[in-house]
């Protein structure tokens, strides 16, 4: 479920797969990041509602209720500052998928933890 009680969102992980949400958020928390999760695009929009934008959104593409395309479209229409979006996908055409929704970057599944940490570090100053 959503960790809406996190006071300041730093990284929002949006994926319908429970294993991926758990492993990625655990890995990033161990790196010292504040992470919250959402299971689909709609839940992500709800989390972002009324909060300051996170420093990074990690977005899966294929999800129920609202997929990555739907989320990106709705998020772009929002007023005010927006977080960079990095798509993570198992699709072979990850670059195309990312371009389709105007994402800032993509990372292919299965994700290499070192690559993920390096990528996140570029967007989010490390909290130590």
Partner 1 sequence: MAQSDRSRLAEDPYPTVAAEELRLSEERFRLLVSSVRDYAIFMLDPDGRVSSWNEGAQRIKGYTAADIIGRHFSQFYPPEDLEAGKPAMELEVALAEGRFEDEGWRVRKDGTMFWANVIITALFDSEGQHVGFAKVTRDLTERRRAEVERLQLAQEQAGRAAAEAALKVREEFLSAAAHELKTPITSLRMFAQLATRQLERTGEVDADLVARTLRGIDQHSAKLASLVDQLLDIARFENGRLSINRQEADLVEIVRGVVDRARPTTTHHVLSVSAPPSVPWPVDALRIEQVVTNLVNNAIKYSPVGGDVRVEINPLPAGEVEVAVVDQGIGVAPEHREHIFERFYQVSTSDYYAGMGLGLYISHEIVELHGGTLRAEYPAAGGSRFIVTLPAH
Does 74 bind partner 1 (CB under 8 A)? Our answer is: no
Q: Which residue among 16, 51, 74, 105 contacts partner 1 (CB under 8 A)?
A: 16
CB of 65 vs partner 1, minimal distance in Å? 6
Does 39 bind partner 1 (CB under 8 A)? Our answer is: yes
Does 127 bind partner 1 (CB under 8 A)? Our answer is: no
Q: Which residue among 3, 4, 84, 109 contacts partner 1 (CB under 8 A)?
A: 109
Does 23 bind partner 1 (CB under 8 A)? Our answer is: yes
Q: Which two tokens stand for residue 21?
A: 């949400």
Sign of CA dihedral 57, 60, 46, 82: positive
Residue number with CB closer to partner 1 (2 or 6):
2
Q: How many CB atoms lie within 10 A of CB 37?
A: 23
Q: Considering only 6-14, 49-57, 79-87, 112-120, which stretch makes contact with partner 1 by CB under 8 A?
A: 112-120
Site residues (vs partner 1, CB under 8 A) = 1, 16-17, 19-20, 22-24, 26-27, 30, 39-40, 62-65, 67, 90-92, 109-114
């Amino acid at each position: 479920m959503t960790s809406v009680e996190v006071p300041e969102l730093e990284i929002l992980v949006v994926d319908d797969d429970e294993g991926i949400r758990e492993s990625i958020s655990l890995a990033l928390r161990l790196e010292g990041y504040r992470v919250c999760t959402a299971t689909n695009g709609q839940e992500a929009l709800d989390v972002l509602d009324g909060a300051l934008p996170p420093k990074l959104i990690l977005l899966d593409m294929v999800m129920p209720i609202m997929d990555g395309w739907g989320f990106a479209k709705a998020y772009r229409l929002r007023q005010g500052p927006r977080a960079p979006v990095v798509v993570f996908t198992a699709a072979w055409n990850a670059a195309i998928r990312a371009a389709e929704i105007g994402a800032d970057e993509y990372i292919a599944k299965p994700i290499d933890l070192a690559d993920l940490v390096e990528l996140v570090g570029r967007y989010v100053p490390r909290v130590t």
